[in-house]
Structure 1
Amino acid sequence: MKIVTNRFKRGALAMSIAVVNAGLIMPATAQDSDAVLEEIVVSGIRGSLTNSMDIKRDNTGVVDAISAEDIGKFPDTNLAESLQRITGVSIDRSGNEGNQVTVRGFGPQFNLVTMNGRQMPNSTALASSAVSRSFNFREIASESVAGVEVHKSGRADVASGGIGATIDIKTAKPFDYDEMVLLGSIKGVIDTSVKNGDDITPEISGLFSTTFADGKFGVLASFSQAERNYGVDRVGTQNGWSQGYPGQANPDTSAIDTSRNPTLATWRVPTVDLDVADYERTRQNGQLVLQFAPIDTLTATLDYTASRLEENGDMNRMSFWFDNVEAGAADVNGTIINPSRSNDELNFWAWEYGFTTENDSIGLNLEWDATENLTLSLDAHESTSHANPGAQPAERIAGLKNPFGAAAPVDIAADFSGKLPTVSYDDSALPGGAYDLANIEGDLYQERGKEVKNTVRQVQFDGVWRNADDSALKSINFGLASTQYDVDVVDIYGANFALGGGAMDLSSLDLSFIPGRIGFEYIPIYSAAEFIALAEAQGLTNPSNESLDGITEDTTSIYLSLDFDTTFNGLPIRVNAGIRYEETDVESYTITNPVIGFNWLTPLEMSKIYAAESQADKLTGEYSHFLPNLDVAMDITDDLVARVAISRTVARSNIDAMYPGTNLINHYSTGPFQAGQGNPNLLPYTSDNVDLGLEWYYAEGSYVSMGYFRKDVDNFIALGQENRVIVGPNGPLTNPSLSARPGCPGGSIANPIEACTSQPTDPAIIWEVTTPQNLDSSLVDGWEFNVQHMFGDTGFGVIANYTMVDSDDEYDVNSLENDLALQGLSDSANLVGFYEINGFQARIAYNWRDKFLLASGNEPTFTAAYSQVDINASYDINDHVNVFVEGLNITDEATHRYGRWENQIRDYEEYGPRYNIGVRAKF
């Protein structure tokens, strides 16, 4: 008997040290801001960090930031990678690159990202990705960014939408510079994970800025293009773990610890997947800024910013399906750790990804010093993020398999007793074996994706009146704004699940097998596009279905705030007190051909049968809120500052949570039957915040700070679940697989067998329908600690910070009822060492984030603790030319996601280190 067992390696854990350059660039008042811009020129690590320390000290609220070390020189190539160095800020990674941020335990959906104070749109083409309000940082190059401000405490004059923080990206303008600037850089990106394609790819950037006509006109233009190839090796599961997944009605539960699991609940997983993927990404950024100051008191700025992101990839998968487990025993928690089944098959998959994202923003800003004491500004912009223009499938999926059943048996088994699983198969009863091309047939194809267009139109009017008298009141800030936020989504889906049993001729398909990269014996290699083209040529494809979803939010806001500078009991204090009022009208829609029944094709798959006519659902909602804030900073001594910040902030719900339509998520014939429905009447999250801070500035460039934060979150949105029948246009949706009719399962999507389709007399399906609801309130609190120390004139420095986050509403893995569990909560830390002297700079940085809850649908997904080491070194050859080298994830860390317990694997991904080598020139 031939038995093959494969064990996947575990990536090594390693310490990582990340480098920080944080320069706070927003002081408490506009008057202070002018003074700082005139007096401080940020250059180099020490200059940037010292500037950060000084402005942190002068601010009334809690604001952190990162500034460019020099024109066109940001601390990291990726903005998110730089932001993670700030105390309390963590990042989410995609393809071993930072893309979105978590602040104080609140994930990307709880943070608002703006550019120059303007709300920015976001979009995605992947069917598996939700449309997020949070801007994706990997879509913008860092060369044209002057700084990034992180507002952790709320202020009336700062745009609402972030409970964790409001993050503002500042871009360069020609009037920022006193002389003509010309700079450029070129680098080679060396990605060690690349298996196919070039492992060294180019990145180029350039910036030109000048003023003329006695400083009345200014123009700035910048451009960058970055190409990157990378690979991902993965072991994981396709649909995650479920309680009581079909099969094995009476598993062995003797090992279950009833003190943890008194109901003897068990969990199973449908697949074990082994993936090898290669991706290509090209990012282009461009910006044009024109400034005109016809008189000393008036400045007009017209700017256009564009980015283009093109992503392509191929993934091949070896898959073992345990959708009908015959045998298996549970461990102490209830996880079925040794599922097996006989007379089964091996599955061979191919994925093809391909889409573009186009971002465009055009804006006009007018700033007028109406009097010596009054400054008025008007800002208007229209910004659009458009993913997958043309509504083509962004993912194409093709499946091959062995013939199913006793005629061609393959026995499969898995072992989930460790962090990473092992799998085994026995194909000795199959002549030629499971990898013989004669024993491989077609299975299915799918085409899916989204076209998303997200447009933000915003007009903002602001004013600052500065008091010329020597009194406690220093300034009055006021303004109003109108924001229209539109999202339109086209969902694309097409499939055929009945390509087996000789229905498809595979003789011309280019299919081969290579050794697996994560230890498995073989991985299939073939093209999903070629497979689908063959199916089309043989008349086996079906028309794609499309559905439309959308939402429009119109928000009107007005604010007023006062700045004071006075004394209390002889101690200097600075105060900002303000209030913001907002009204929002919401309208959402879904247009789709509703499902009227199912077509039972194979023992597992049922395809949806759609109505011939589309149906529109449309709902509206509205809400309003007051957002007050009070910030107080007190100089206890010349070196010791205490601060208190009290505010109310909001974060609006996820876009896809508000569509009125019903989405049938899982409809396998064996269940579980899961569906989701949106709720357009969701209220925003509302958080009442308290920040307390104490900071000791004991030497030049050196300080110690600690802070406590508390956030009482109301209207918290979680998933409510209801088991019920779903009624379509022709009545309840029924399950044809429960009625044994001759010839079933069978047929195809294009040519169904009537007996295998839903009949009114079939049993109605009981669906697990989840709906987002404003269920409860929650409390999050934590501590932030930060040390920044310069070792005199030696050139050496160190930064260490640690953030602790806590909440009573954490996911209890031993409970079957978790109505409210906060996602993203985790402790985080940075340790940074740097050296800078005589034109030489070197940094090494360790970044760590503890495990956190990534998702909490029917079953949770956790991300394991992760740490990463990054390095950076550069040398100024002369006043104009600088050479540099950068290394990211140099200890080759892997990402691990799992279910309730670590052996319930969801994903284990290895990426490899990445290095950049380049030269930068400035004139």
Structure 2
Amino acid sequence: MKRHALAAVSALAIAVATPALAQQDPNASVAGAPGATQLTTPARQQSPADSAAPVPGAAAPLDSQVAADPAAGSNEIIVTGLRASLSSAATIKRQAPQIVDSIVAEDIGKLPDNTVSDALQRVTGVQIIRGGGEATAVLVRGLPNAATLLNGREAFTGAARGIALQDIPAELIAGVDVYKTATPDIVEGGVVGVIDVRLRRPFDFNGLQIAGGGRAVYSDQSKKWSGLANALVSDRWQTGLGEFGALAGFSFNRRIYRDDTAFDFISNCVTGPTGACLTTPPFGNSAGQGIGIPDTVGGLYTVGQRQRLAFNGSLQWKPADNLEFYADGLYTQYKNRIDTNFFVGLPKTGVVTNVTTYDAYPALANGVTETNAYTLSSMQAYQNKTTTIQGDVGAKWNPGEHDVITAEIVYNHSKLPNRNLIVDTSFNAPTASYNFDNNGTPLINIGGVDLTNPANFTLRTLFDNHSLETSRQWAYRADVTHSFDGGLLSNFKFGVRYTDRRAESQATVSTPIGITNPVLLSSVDGLATLSPGDLVQGRAGIDRFALSDADYLLSHADQIRGIFSQPAGDRPFDPNLAFFDSEKTYAFYGQAGYRFDIGGIAVDGVAGVRVVNTVEDLEGNGVSSRENYLNALPSATLRAKLTGKLQFRLAYAKTLTRPNFSDLNPLVGYASNGVTGGTGTAYTGSGGNPGLGPIKADNYDASLEWYLTPTTSLTAAGFYKTIKGYIQVYSAIEPYQGQTALVSRPRGVDGTLKGLELAYQQFFDFLPGPLSGLGAQLNGTYIIGRNDDPINGGKQRLVNVSKYSYNAVAIYEKYGVSARLAWNWRSSFAAAYNSGGLQAGSVVARPTGQLDLSVNYAITPFATITFDATNLTDRVYHDEFKGLNSATGVYSTTPRDTRTYDRTFEFGARFKF
């Protein structure tokens, strides 16, 4: 695949110099004010077609690529479809004062991908983490610390700092802007950038718009059908009181998915009565060392039923040409029923008859055989829900030709009630053999017992947990802009912002509850069920097995509690896991836009400072803390227009990200490791760190951008960041109740992040006939991220940062067909550190790629049929324990996880009139 991608780059680099049929107007305005400016939309927001308008006299592109605007006259060309989307995105990037990459919906209800998170993976420098049938995390230049905005306003989910982007339906979105450099008017909070999701408004359209659509989705691993539907109605009209506009949007998405995982857990030696490692066979090697054997080995089927519901509305009123009022609202609801079907082998609990080791690592086992093997199955039933509301009212006033005054009030509220019940069941297998490394995946063979018969399984352990997070925020802001007709200053802008946020979180600690009088799984009517089959496509040797039914657990919780001699009702929250945080911020910014010429080269930019005071009041179980810190965040940008098509940028900014509220909790929740596998310690624990401060970064950026035509560009960017107090979670051994516990805490570390980004896109209009509909997008990123190791000293790779990543997208758009074949790839990355055990302590993911396809056909100007497919290559994820063990200093590479995911096939239709 790499060789093919390089060949494509070579061919397309030759094509980039070929003249295209349309030239971009360098004075074209951005398709809508960038959300970060927090301004309302104009009376008629410019369409993507307008931003791509050619100079008079240019020849028209071919066929369905363009359409004449009858209202504008025959000399104006309007680019439509995916070309318009790419043209509008290029215009935003070209004209914004920041370094920004954008995605623009080519039509109502159609981003280039089906979710915001999935669409962002195509952006240069953006990587994603997948799970649960979607992109679960978005990483900008390798890090998750990007601020998330809705129409330029801060947005969040629960007690987190950012919003879950996958909760925002793609059908309601006009575009997404990824700001990689900051200016003072952008809300603070993103060390690596800002992601601004722009929703539609009624003044975006000329008049009445009615649109909608739906899709049916088949997932091959879960073997289930799902579906989604959306609708939007918008109109604007003139009255005696001025012009009014109203918009209402709706989206419903139900998705059934399945993720499979086979795993080796951390390795520890078998200990004797004194606690020392046994060194005699089969538990010791020829060198007299105790052999590290995985505490557990097994697999899990994660079957989810996810449902998302969203409504958004927008009202706009212009009583006069220089005055506008608006109100927006967004409601999203997320429900997820997750059934995790666990199979857990315990290779050290039976009568061990043989242990084999790796040739290169004689102190680590690669296989175990045993008799009378104690083994577990476990059903983990989760019922998760999120409700998020954002509402705002605001005004924009132009008191004079050069002045703009805006003001806005925003309210956010988010609530996350979650619960889960887990029941472990056990059996003793006459024989069991475990191969911990069968081509990177564990292979398990259980003999002498029927795994599908619930009469062979005994109820053993209950975990009964629930949690509640709530968060609300009021935000107030006002901005004033004054522009100048000529001279050094192009504009001056200043503003103020005040926020008041309250975040609360309570939860139960995950404590195992043993059964007093064990009963068979088959003895409780309705409790038994069977897992799915063919774990990780048969690689792990595990098929179907008996365990508790998730629906029964959640609907008969009190009956299950009675079996385990527990009282009815939910367990009380653990005070050590509760926090109540109040946060107030006071911000002021001032910035000036400037312009001048040097030797005929036009130079412009923005310079200024944002000053933010943060006041935190944190309360926990009998403890409290107060933080008050003031930060000045200067920034400056410079753009030199070297030619009409080539421009160079420089940017500097100081940024900060505040710690998550949960990171500041001073208390620790502990749980016994129990019989389901340990870490070499009696307890595990997790807690916060009240000493954490904000993450601060000094950011230096440069870019060179070459825009040949509205849809042809070649850009390069470089960046360097010094980061202070970057927050990552580390585990370390701590004493607890006279024994040891492996406790995970967030810690602030210093580091650097540097890299290069290259991007190229073009439609090959110069090719003859049908071939003129071909186009391509290529982008690649090179990143080096290092931070101090707070546990072992020295340096280590920043978590989740891949050194290399790229996208290669083939496009075809002609004769009503719009198609994209997209390959996304990233190199290996560090997933976690300090896992414990005798094997390597770092978890490193192998390189991974995914191929997706999207095809649309416009059967009429008002109706389009669609087909989408994801994960066409049926990718398999692997990660490994890799590197040095912190205690022994021995280097090793041994398998950890193998994961497989659904391939999806979607059939749908959209309409608009």
TM range (shorter): 0.7 to 0.9
Return the structure number with greater relative CO, CA threshold 8 A, min gap 6.
Answer: 1
For normalisation by structure 1, the TM-score amounts to: 0.81
Check if 1:853 corresponds to 2:845: no
* Corresponding residue number in structure 1 for 2:444: 423
Q: Give 1:919's match in structure 2, choosing from 896, 909, 913.
A: 909
Alignment of 1:88-127 (within 5 A): 88-106=125-143, 108=144, 110-123=145-158
Q: In structure 2, how many angstroms separate the alpha carbons of the residues matched to 1:494 and 1:782?
A: 41
Q: Which moved more, 1:860-869 or 1:32-41?
A: 32-41
Q: In structure 2, how many angstroms separate the alpha carbons of the residues matched to 1:74 and 1:918?
A: 14
Check if 1:765 corresponds to 2:739: yes
* Corresponding residue number in structure 1 for 2:330: 305
* Corresponding residue number in structure 2 for 1:316: 341
* Corresponding residue number in structure 1 for 2:597: 567
* Corresponding residue number in structure 2 for 1:712: 722
Residue pair 1:139, 1:309 contacting (<8 A) in 2 also = yes
Alignment of 1:616-631 (within 5 A): 616-631=622-637
Change (3 A) 1:401 1:303: same
Instruction: Provide the secondary structure at the position in 2 that maps to 1:545.
Output: coil
Q: How many residues align?
A: 812
Check if 1:908 corresponds to 2:898: yes
Check if 1:241 corresponds to 2:262: no
Q: Deviations over 1:474-511 (max 9, x none)?
A: 00111111123332112035766322763678523453
Q: In structure 2, how many angstroms separate the alpha carbons of the residues matched to 1:509 and 1:82?
A: 46
* Corresponding residue number in structure 1 for 2:18: none
Alignment of 1:5-20 (within 5 A): none
Alignment of 1:661-680 (within 5 A): 661-668=667-674, 671-672=680-681, 673-680=683-690
User: Structure 2: which amino acid aligns with 1:887?
Assistant: A
Instruction: Provide the secondary structure at the position in 2 that maps to 1:680.
Output: coil
Q: In structure 2, how many angstroms separate the alpha carbons of the residues matched to 1:321 and 1:24?
A: 60
Q: Which moved more, 1:28-37 or 1:619-628?
A: 28-37
Alignment of 1:418-457 (within 5 A): 418-427=439-448, 439-457=456-474
Change (3 A) 1:896 1:251: farther
Q: In structure 1, how many angstroms separate the alpha carbons of the residues matched to 2:160 and 2:908?
A: 34
Check if 1:797 corresponds to 2:775: yes
Q: Which moved more, 1:785-794 or 1:360-369?
A: 785-794
* Alpha-carbon shift at residue 142 of structure 1 (Å): 1.0
Instruction: Provide the secondary structure at the position in 2 that maps to 1:877.
Output: strand
User: Structure 2: which amino acid aligns with 1:50?
Assistant: S
Change (3 A) 1:256 1:483: farther
Instruction: Provide the secondary structure at the position in 2 that maps to 1:163.
Output: coil
User: Structure 1: which amino acid aligns with 2:148?
Assistant: V
Residue pair 2:512, 2:674 contacting (<8 A) in 1 also = no
Q: In structure 2, how many angstroms separate the alpha carbons of the residues matched to 1:77 and 1:141?
A: 9
* Corresponding residue number in structure 1 for 2:480: 463
* Corresponding residue number in structure 2 for 1:139: 167
Q: Deviations over 1:4-48 (max 9, x none)?
A: xxxxxxxxx99999xxxxx98657999999698374377411112
Alignment of 1:656-805 (within 5 A): 656-668=662-674, 671-672=680-681, 673-718=683-728, 723-726=733-736, 733=737, 764-775=738-749, 777-792=750-765, 794-805=772-783
* Corresponding residue number in structure 2 for 1:480: 496
Q: In structure 1, how many angstroms separate the alpha carbons of the residues matched to 2:267 and 2:493?
A: 54
* Corresponding residue number in structure 2 for 1:151: 179
Check if 1:497 corresponds to 2:513: yes
Q: Deviations over 1:699-733 (max 9, x none)?
A: 4521211111111111233457765544xxxxxx2
User: Structure 1: which amino acid aligns with 2:333?
Assistant: R
Instruction: Provide the secondary structure at the position in 2 that maps to 1:52.
Output: helix
Q: In structure 2, how many angstroms separate the alpha carbons of the residues matched to 1:310 and 1:628?
A: 41
* Corresponding residue number in structure 2 for 1:604: none
Alignment of 1:538-549 (within 5 A): 538=563, 540-542=565-567, 544-547=571-574, 548-549=578-579
Q: Deviations over 1:28-72 (max 9, x none)?
A: 999999698374377411112122223322233211111110233
* Alpha-carbon shift at residue 766 of structure 1 (Å): 3.6
* Corresponding residue number in structure 2 for 1:217: 244
* Corresponding residue number in structure 1 for 2:545: 523
User: Structure 2: which amino acid aligns with 1:171?
Assistant: L
* Alpha-carbon shift at residue 213 of structure 1 (Å): 2.9
Residue pair 1:509, 1:530 contacting (<8 A) in 2 also = no
Q: In structure 2, how many angstroms separate the alpha carbons of the residues matched to 1:145 and 1:311?
A: 23
Instruction: Provide the secondary structure at the position in 1 that maps to 2:514.
Output: coil
Q: In structure 2, how many angstroms separate the alpha carbons of the residues matched to 1:69 and 1:379?
A: 29
Change (3 A) 1:114 1:64: same
Change (3 A) 1:485 1:708: same
Check if 1:231 corresponds to 2:258: yes
Change (3 A) 1:848 1:483: same
Instruction: Provide the secondary structure at the position in 2 that maps to 1:900.
Output: strand
Change (3 A) 1:769 1:818: farther
Q: In structure 2, how many angstroms separate the alpha carbons of the residues matched to 1:14 and 1:916?
A: 28
Q: In structure 2, how many angstroms separate the alpha carbons of the residues matched to 1:252 and 1:707?
A: 58
Q: Deviations over 1:663-711 (max 9, x none)?
A: 2255449741343342223111111111111122234521211111111
* Alpha-carbon shift at residue 890 of structure 1 (Å): 1.6
* Alpha-carbon shift at residue 618 of structure 1 (Å): 1.6
For normalisation by structure 2, the TM-score amounts to: 0.82
Change (3 A) 1:183 1:303: same
Residue pair 2:695, 2:723 contacting (<8 A) in 1 also = yes
Unpaired runs of 5+ residues, structure 2, are 9-29, 52-77, 767-771, 836-840, 884-891
* Corresponding residue number in structure 2 for 1:898: 880
* Corresponding residue number in structure 1 for 2:57: none
Q: In structure 1, how many angstroms separate the alpha carbons of the residues matched to 2:702 and 2:289?
A: 46
Q: In structure 1, how many angstroms separate the alpha carbons of the residues matched to 2:39 and 2:468?
A: 45
Alignment of 1:73-472 (within 5 A): 73-106=110-143, 108=144, 110-123=145-158, 132-195=160-223, 199-214=224-239, 216-237=243-264, 240-241=265-266, 248-250=277-279, 268-322=293-347, 328=355, 330-331=357-358, 332-333=360-361, 335-388=364-417, 394-402=419-427, 410-416=431-437, 418-427=439-448, 439-468=456-485, 470-472=486-488
Q: In structure 1, how many angstroms separate the alpha carbons of the residues matched to 2:628 and 2:512?
A: 42
Residue pair 1:719, 1:771 contacting (<8 A) in 2 also = yes
Instruction: Provide the secondary structure at the position in 2 that maps to 1:357.
Output: strand
User: Structure 2: which amino acid aligns with 1:188?
Assistant: A
Check if 1:66 corresponds to 2:66: no
Q: Deviations over 1:101-154 (max 9, x none)?
A: 101111x2x11111011111113xxxxxxx642321221111111111110012
Q: Give 1:552's match in structure 2, choosing from 567, 582, 585.
A: 582
* Alpha-carbon shift at residue 872 of structure 1 (Å): 1.0
Q: In structure 2, how many angstroms separate the alpha carbons of the residues matched to 1:899 and 1:443?
A: 30
Q: In structure 1, how many angstroms separate the alpha carbons of the residues matched to 2:427 and 2:215?
A: 47
Residue pair 1:24, 1:67 contacting (<8 A) in 2 also = no
Q: Deviations over 1:580-606 (max 9, x none)?
A: 111111122223xxxxxxxxxxxxxxx
Residue pair 1:24, 1:65 contacting (<8 A) in 2 also = no
Residue pair 1:80, 1:137 contacting (<8 A) in 2 also = yes
Question: Percent of aligned positions with the same letter in both sequences?
Answer: 23
* Alpha-carbon shift at residue 250 of structure 1 (Å): 2.8
Change (3 A) 1:246 1:374: farther
Q: Deviations over 1:799-821 (max 9, x none)?
A: 11100001344989xx9657764
Check if 1:638 corresponds to 2:616: no
